[in-house]
Amino acid sequence: MRFDLVDLQLFVAVAETRSITNGAQRVHLALASASARIKGLEAALGVSLLRRGRRGVELTAAGETLLDHARVVLHNVETMRGDLAAFARGVKATVRFLANTSGLSEYLPKTLAAFLAEHPHISIDVEEHESGEIARAIAAGAADLGLAAEHALPDNIERIAFSEDRLVLVATRHDELANRRQVEFREVVERDFVGLITSSALHTHIAGHAARLGTRLRFRARLNNFDAIGQMVAAGIGVAVMPEIAARRCARSMKINVIRIRDPWANRRLAICARSFKTLPRPAKLLVEHLRKVAQ
């Protein structure tokens, strides 16, 4: 079984464009050469990868499997090229890391700072995404590691438990809810809210649960961090949903109370996730070990 990176690049291009002609153009190959390479792939693997029709091509089940693996291989090759080129310039290897809002704002800054101080030749690119998006990106090989709500991870994603990440409601101490120990989300969806900016993963998560109750949350203010949200809540502008770790921290210096949300979706665990921990590049493996040591 012999095929090269050009074959994989061509196959991904054909699969994404659903056309051998357009796929060949994308990777700058002549149509005849592209057709021969696809046939060579099928012969080498002993399976049909494409169903050819008048309007283009469709992937067979084997083709879908190859597409999944090809994307991972090409991502790893690009990562290798980038990391080696960085070393050639005297720069650093890079770990691509995706995290949800609470992970990024509450758990990772100090943890990643300690890791980077110990490993001066490694850098980390961190992006914020909703947990479901993180799962899809990890499965597709678009990132090395993720920190996401465990319930959003499918069975084919490996994970290591990291910490509890309960979501709670916060209200000013003068609010009628302030003395409640817990509340159902449906009891408060008609209230004024203070929340994160709309591009945040947590905003998307909370707004989605409000939509399932047939409601669109009414925001008096949207801000970019939990401390600013806490100050708005303390001033009586509205209630807010935030991670319990952030809410407890804010409550120590602000006149707000923390009320548990009874709904099951508010009880979350964060997990470190990867497509396969064994096949990660060494810098990513070092980061996993660091995160495992600090897991709560």
Q: Tens of pLDDT along the chain (296 residues)?
A: 567 889 999 999 999 999 999 999 999 999 999 999 999 999 888 999 999 888 889 999 999 999 988 988 888 888 788 777 766 655 567 899 999 988 898 889 999 999 999 998 888 999 999 888 999 999 988 899 999 989 889 999 999 999 998 999 999 999 999 889 999 999 999 999 999 987 788 888 899 999 999 999 999 999 989 999 999 999 999 999 999 999 999 999 999 999 999 999 999 899 999 999 999 988 999 999 999 999 86
**CATH no. for residue 103?**
3.40.190.10
Closest CA to 243 of 150, 169, 148, 158: 169
Map tokens 């009880």 to a residue: 267
Same-domain status, 177 and 225:
yes
105 shares its domain with 139: yes
Radius of gyration of the chain (CA): 24
Co-location of 130 and 173 in the same domain: no
Q: Are residues 150 and 25 in the same domain?
A: no
Domain for residue 141, yes or no?
A: yes
Q: 154, exposed or middle or buried, with CB in 10 Å at 0-12, 13-18, 19+?
A: exposed
274 shares a domain with 160: yes
- d(CA 39, CA 17) in angstroms, rounded, equals 18
* Tally of residues, the chain: 296
Buried b (16+ CB within 10 A) or exposed e, 39-75: eebbeeeeeebbeeeeebbebeeebeebbeebbbebb
Query: Is 83 part of a structural domain of the chain?
Result: no
Please give the tally of structural domains in the chain: 3
Q: What is the pTM of this model?
A: 0.63
Domain span including residue 225: 167-266
Tokens matching residue 281: 């590049």
